Amino acid sequence: MKRGALALAALVASTVGLGQQTTQPTRAEPRASTTPQEQTAPRMSETDKLTLMNDCTRQVQAMHPTVPDKDIKAYCEKQVKSR
Q: Does any domain span residue 24?
A: no
pTM here is 0.52
Q: Does any domain span residue 37?
A: no
Q: Does any domain span residue 48?
A: yes
Residue 43 has pLDDT above 80, yes or no: yes
As for how many domains the chain has, the answer is: 1
Q: Does any domain span residue 31?
A: no
Q: In the predicted model, what is the mean pLDDT of residues 14-28?
A: 54
Q: In the predicted model, what is the mean pLDDT of residues 2-12?
A: 56
Q: In the predicted model, what is the mean pLDDT of residues 51-70?
A: 97
Which residue range(s) make up the domain with 61? Answer: 1-15+44-83
Residue 51 has pLDDT above 90, yes or no: yes
**What DSSP string describes the chain?**
-HHHHHHHHHHHHHTTTTT-------PPPPPS--S-----PPPPPHHHHHHHHHHHHHHHHHH-TTS-HHHHHHHHHHHHHT-
Q: Does any domain span residue 27?
A: no
pLDDT score for 44: 86
Q: Does any domain span residue 21?
A: no
